[in-house]
Amino acid sequence: MEQLYLSSSPHIRSEQTTDKVMRAVIYALLPACAVSVYLFGLPALSILVLCAAGCVATEAVCRKLMGRPLSLTDGSAALTGILLALNLPPSVPWWLALLGAAVAIAVGKQVYGGLGYNPFNPALVARVVLLISFPVQMTSWSAPAPLGSGLDAVTSATPLGEMKTAVMLTGKLPEAMQQGIGSYFVGHMAGSLGEVSALALLVGAAYLFWKRILTWHTPLSYLGTVVVVSGVFWLIDPARYPSPLFHLVTGGLILGAFFMATDMVTSPVTGKGMVIFGVGCGLLTVLIRLFGGYPEGVSFAILLMNATTPLIDRYTKPKKFGFVAPQG
């Protein structure tokens, strides 16, 4: 016998590893990436590549500066880059994409110690930093101009932006808005790279459910809350508040509910905690969309709920086996 290993039990492990989880999430985002390139052309591709490469490079530099082992193989930096890209408008300049990548990894992740220690979703931290610092570039949207359609990119408002403007000016929803839901669903609306096709995102999410990487808790409670809360407002005044279906397919809700709020590092660990987290995200999203200063509230909602994760974890600790209530 050449070499014997001695260690305490268990002696076998499951096949699932962090690297595989990260890679699977990247695969799950590929349909949405492909649709964004189809709809917005080469600028979308370059944003995706710049963000992913920028994140990986920033991660390498940070680890080097901190004197920690490199951690590129875990795929988490590339994943953050892709998620960031999917959260950017297709017309952002190249330097903004790179700046976002650097902020995501350096400020959003590595200052806390790297993977597993960041309290906030790094991609969303970067998006919000860019949104606040560069409001013009971050809110210049354009309508999709599918490859081969011969169309040029035309500046256009997002459905949520249109809604907000109309409601603020007239107190009423724009006339044509409610008819577009079907085409929004497949991506015919202005928006960030990853927002535009709910369908492509759902295909990826289905893959993650099948791989048992996603559980229903966060996405379902998030979307369910959005439907219920926005439905209440819609029933009160359908002329002023859009329908729940409109909320579901526009903006970054699907991307947020399946791929951002479910980030393991920044969300609670128990099923009960995830449901509370999802309900909070849903409530905040609708409130910001309907009453906040910004047309879209998904990023802010998730980041605010990230901050409550330690608290949620504390109060949703499972009751241990054989728990006996203290006497007296």
Partner 1 sequence: MKLKSFPGGLHPPDNKAWSAHKPIETCALPGELVIPLAQHIGAPAEPCVAKGDQVRKGQVIGQAKGFVSVPVHASTSGEVIAVEPRPHPYGRDLPAVVIRPDGQDAWVEGLEEADPEALTADEIRDRIRAAGIVGMGGATFPTHVKLSPPAEKPIDTVIVNGVECEPYLTADHRLMLEQTQKVLDGVAILKKVLGVQKALVGIEANKPDAIAAMQKACAGRGIEVVPLEVKYPQGAEKQLILAAVGREVPSGGLPMDVGVVVQNVGTAAAIDDAVRLGRPLIERIATVTGPCVNEPKNLRVRIGTALAHLVEACGGLKSDPAKIIMGGPMMGAAQLSLAVPATRGTSGLLLLGEQDVSLETEGPCIRCGRCVQVCPARILPTTIAAYARLDLFDEAEQFCALDCIECGCCTYICPSALALVQAIRYAKGAIMARKRKI
Residues at the interface with partner 1 (CB under 8 A):
1-14, 16-18, 20-21, 74, 114-117, 264-271, 317-324
Give the other-Cβ count within 10 Å of 315's Cβ.
10
Cα 90 to Cα 73: distance, rounded to the nearest angstrom: 28
Residue 315 CB, shortest distance to partner 1, in Å, is: 13
* Closest CB to partner 1 among residues 74, 195: 74
Minimum Å distance from CB 72 to partner 1? 13
Distances from the Cα of 117 to the Cα of 108, 172, 247, angstroms: 10, 45, 32
Taking the CA atoms of 153, 158, 164 and 170 in sequence, report the sign of the dihedral they define.
positive
Cβ closest to partner 1, residue 185 vs residue 258: 258
Tell me the closest approach of the beta carbon of residue 235 to partner 1, in angstroms.
36
Minimum CB distance to partner 1 smaller for 91 or for 270: 270
Q: Which two tokens stand for residue 301?
A: 């909602």
Cα–Cα dist 25/27, whole Å: 5
Rounded to an integer, what distance in angstroms lies between the CA atom of residue 218 and that of residue 215? 7
As measured in angstroms, the least distance from the Cβ of 307 to partner 1 is: 15
**Minimum separation from the CB atom of position 197 to partner 1 (A):** 27
* Cα 292 to Cα 294: distance, rounded to the nearest angstrom: 5
Nearer to partner 1, 16 or 170 (CB): 16
Identify which of residues 16 and 149 has a Cβ nearer to partner 1 in the complex.
Answer: 16
Residue 154, SS3?
strand
Least distance (Å) from partner 1 to the CB of residue 323?
Answer: 6
Nearest residue to 229 (alpha-carbon basis) of 273, 159, 281:
281
CB of 31 to partner 1, least distance (A): 23
Residue closer to partner 1 by CB (options 26, 227) is 26
Cβ neighbours, 10 Å, residue 110: 24
Between 14 and 179, name the residue whose CB sits nearer to partner 1: 14
Three-class secondary structure of residue 86 per DSSP: helix
Q: What is the dihedral of CA 264, 270, 273, 278, to 10 degrees?
A: 50
